[in-house]
Structure 1
């Protein structure tokens, strides 16, 4: 089956979050099951730099308001991602000094509605034969950046009075919807009746994500629990009514782990490799991490780590509140992340106050993330909501037991450790109450288990043996594409 995957970023060329990891791993998993997959990406500088043997497919002629001087579609190969790719070469839109979505001051670009409408429009153009040598049977779009593709496909179907290739829209985080002022609708070149309650209008605004949810043939999100949660008002972010209406078209498919990238037995970014049968070698990663961060060299002190965007959603204020009690119990703490300036300052102050036990590295560092997870004992993901989460999956793979809140994909992937589960399915520590007290209760259970070395190793080995590859997810996506394509 011919599948076009449409997204704004892809690992390892451009990454701001877990979307890139999914976009980088899924094509290879689909290809392993017989699919013919190509990806469509905006021509951000790192993506163009990674495109091998580019050839021009076509000059792009989108609706006038989103036209970019000299915009063209390139086809080539992304060797770093092992993927065939189309890239939109539009320097006026994608060559900027800031990040892919916002400038150096973290302000969203004023023309984001046009920059990403062009992505959706191009996906629909490819589905209608823009490349005469390859036309997809299914178009799989990810998050709000690519959410207009199903709308453009529906508009083309109505105008041509013929069926278009099937569309699948995946929600990675319902909280980020791509909201814009209604005055921009006329710039998109879509039929006027698309700006309506039964369409992409949302409380008087233009909502890209709602367009994807409304017009796609099938919808997926990244865990079964999150698929249920977003149909209720607490997690539905104002779109729960629409999601309930489309419940029969909505699937929850758990993300996987790219084991070519995340595998402690082969990970070249580690100071030493290990596996479930040789967990003693994990101690070397821990000692190296303590040296790198300037933490006290204490093999018996459990290291709790966080690898995360620093936002309220991630529950990191709970970690701050719980941190003194954790350190008082003999634990160490290390964090990698960036985001909210207040959280950054608070974590930096905690590290300054107790550098022997607390270390903080602000920013994004992929190589250090591998070393941090391998060298730690517990990885904390105490989120208010979490569509899937990937860091807890990396923790499981590396024998770094996850401590998570029972929401979304965290609930689907981590089994709580208690006396009654110790010998059956325990793989980490789970709490329910979104509070520092709830987090500390789980942390105290982790500390108690850590003191029982044999039991700790038993849970580590079970966590590391948990299936977490992409093969099951890829099979489910292929089934979804076939349904969408009719």
Structure 2
């Protein structure tokens, strides 16, 4: 079984979020199960030189972009047993500094990317049985395959799967992109096809035209069929019916391994002794009061409304003033959230530490040094942080939505079952009550040891999810 992943980013080469982690880890898990999984992504200027210098030039071709054509080169690199293809266009991807997305011509850039993925396959000497496209950046591969390539015997039997990582980001562009860049006629501009609120939606292209649609947790697959979570595409998703399924993401357990993580002050496998030593080291590093009796809550997050930061803003002073807890926050995003945490930290210097920005090693030390990990998301397609936290023995506090609901089971004192703490309503004081309950159980060793052990022994790897994807691939191909 031959599968090509098409995505805008992939770890370790280029990363802005969880999508890159999935692209970096899932193909490896599939290869371990006998699938020939390869990956194609743009060759950005930001890819580190140590990887660029190791790439092999395969060749080049011309890619149709509406009425004209544009040069596209192909590079290949084998990394950790996986073949990666890099689509080379200096104009669209090589000469850009800063962020991967948000440029004035993103519609043109990713129209080119979608067409180039298909155009380059013969040059790569790789004829996949299936193309697995990810998020809006690759959403037009399925309709382009249907319109421009099915007549060619090389492409005639290729099937497509489309995965939604976050429905909120849809890649909607003006009507003119349809013919001028994608070479699609006006018949595609229809509510049952690509039209969305007067524009052309790349996300909708994948939803409507792929042979199968997946998303990154079972609960999110149900949620996005409803108007509240559906971001205007719930009708299109309901129309796919049986062809939409949810498969929860995993994490790379080799990378996220507290027994071997070089970022930590003390390595450990299970238990609390070495974990408490990491807690003390983190408190010292961030200027917090040294105490094993005070529960330390960690957050590693994008500072956006999606992550539930409005709930925290509503009760942050109440939590800091009244409760014997400490809070460590790492992240960046919307300025008013950054300002809120920064200003509040000045009032509670021994209880609240804030780092605006991102530091991979500090993130791992927070996972290892925190007792609790807070994720009160408004919505969360899957979430990886709660699984990483449990792998490091930090017990999650989450709102019951999307992948958080699928991976975190509320602790029951009577039975001892559960690996975390949950609340259902998007309500600040429901969250605060749950934090206080978690802090109370932290001070009860017989319960706390049981919760931490349950969190640490969970299987958060890609093995089971890769098996489900392999089974789904077989169903689509049959």
TM class, shorter-chain normalised? over 0.9
Q: For 1:480, which of 468, 472, 476 is the aligned residue?
A: 472
8 Å CA contact retained: 1:157, 1:163:
yes
Q: 1:285 aligns with which of 265, 278, 281?
A: 278
CA contact (8 A) 2:397 2:434 kept: yes
Q: CA deviation at 1:83?
A: 2.4
Structure 2 distance, partners of 1:446, 1:274, is 23
Relative to 1, partners in 2 of residues 1:413 and 1:67: Cα closer, same or farther, differing over 3 Å?
farther
Does residue 323 in structure 1 map to residue 324 in structure 2? Answer: no
Conserved? CA contact 1:126–1:135, under 8 Å = no
Q: 1:283 to 1:247 in 2, by over 3 A?
A: same
Shifted more, 62-71 versus 31-40: the winner is: 62-71
Which residue of structure 2 aligns with residue 119 of structure 1?
Answer: 113
How many Å separate the matches in 2 of 1:22 and 1:329? Answer: 37
State the Cα RMSD in Å. Answer: 1.8
Q: Does structure 1 residue 468 correspond to structure 2 residue 466?
A: no
Q: Per-residue displacement from partner, 1:119-158 (whole Å, max 9, x unpaired)?
A: 211222245x333x32111111111111111111111355
- Secondary structure in 2 matching 1:99: coil
Q: TM-score, normalised by structure 1?
A: 0.93
Cα drift, residue 52 of structure 1: 5.6
Aligned residues: 473
Match of 2:383 among 389, 392, 398: 389
Q: Give secondary structure in 1 for the equivalent of 2:176.
A: helix
> What secondary structure, in the 3-state scheme, does the structure 1 residue paired with 2:84 have?
strand
Instruction: Please say if residues 61 and 120 of structure 2, whose CA atoms lie closer than 8 Å, have aligned partners that are also in contact.
Output: no
Task: Check whether the contact 1:223–1:408 (CA below 8 A) recurs between aligned residues.
Answer: yes
| Distance in 2, Cα, partners of 1:69 & 1:232 | 41
Q: What SS class does the counterpart of residue 272 from structure 2 fall into? A: helix
Q: Give 1:60 deviation, angstroms.
A: 3.0
Distance 1:190 1:378 in 2: 52
Structure 1 residue 184 corresponds to structure 2 residue 177: yes
Matched, 1:203 2:202: no
- Cα distance per residue 1:190-220 (max 9 Å; x no partner): 3312222221111210100000101111110
Residue pairs, 1:173-322, within 5 angstroms: 173-192=166-185, 193-276=187-270, 278-322=271-315
Say which SS state the counterpart of residue 311 (structure 2) adopts.
Answer: helix
Partner of 2:21: 21
Alignment of 1:46-195 (within 5 A): 46-47=46-47, 49=49, 50-51=51-52, 53-65=54-66, 70-79=71-80, 82-94=81-93, 95-101=95-101, 108-127=102-121, 129-131=122-124, 133-160=125-152, 163-192=156-185, 193-195=187-189
Counterpart of 1:456 (choices 448, 455, 459) is 448
Deviates more, 1:323-332 or 1:244-253: 323-332
Task: Check the 8 A contact 2:378/2:426 in 1, yes or no.
Answer: yes
Q: Deviations over 1:296-338 (max 9, x none)?
A: 1122111111111111111012112222233221100011111
**Any conservation in 2 of the 1:272–1:285 contact (CA below 8 Å)?**
yes
1:412 counterpart = 2:406: yes
Task: Tell me the equivalent position of 1:400.
Answer: 394
Aligned to 1:445: 437
Q: Distance in 2 between matches of 1:66 and 1:8?
A: 24
Contact 1:307/1:369, CA 8 A, preserved across alignment: yes
- Structure 1 residues 451-475: Cα deviation after superposition (integer angstroms, max 9, x where no partner): 1012101110011101111011111
Match in the other structure for 1:4:
4
Ranges in structure 2 where 5+ consecutive residues have no aligned partner: none
- Which residue does 1:104 correspond to in 2? none
Provide the C-alpha distance between the structure 2 equivalents of 1:216 and 1:66, rounded to a whole number of angstroms: 25
| DSSP 3-state at the match of 1:226 | helix
2:8/2:42 contact within 8 Å kept: yes
Q: Distance in 1 between matches of 2:335 and 2:30?
A: 39
CA deviation profile, 1:51-75 (whole Å, cap 9, x unmatched)? 4643333323222459786431212
Structure 2 residue matching 1:60: 3-state secondary structure: strand
3-state secondary structure, aligned to 2:123: coil
For 1:251 and 1:390, the matched residues in 2 are separated by 19
SS at match of 1:379: strand
Q: Following TM superposition, by how much is the alpha carbon of 1:258 offset from its aligned partner in structure 2, in angstroms?
A: 0.4
Counterpart Cα distance in 2 of 1:86 and 1:12: 14
Separation in structure 2 between the aligned mates of residue 285 and residue 401 of structure 1, nearest angstrom:
15
What is the alpha-carbon distance in structure 2 between the residues aligned to residue 325 and residue 204 of structure 1?
A: 45
Q: Is the 8 A contact 2:395 2:420 kept in 1?
A: yes
Alpha-carbon separation, structure 2, partners of 1:77 and 1:51: 12
SS in 1 for 2:63: coil
Q: 1:126 to 1:166 in 2, by over 3 A?
A: farther
Look up the SS of the partner of 1:47 in the other structure: coil
Task: For residue 292 of structure 1, report the CA deviation from its aligned partner.
Answer: 1.2
Looking at structure 2, the residues matched to 293 and 68 of structure 1 have their Cα atoms a distance apart, in angstroms, of 54
Task: Tell me, yes or no, if the aligned pair for 2:380 and 2:402 is still in contact at 8 Å.
Answer: yes
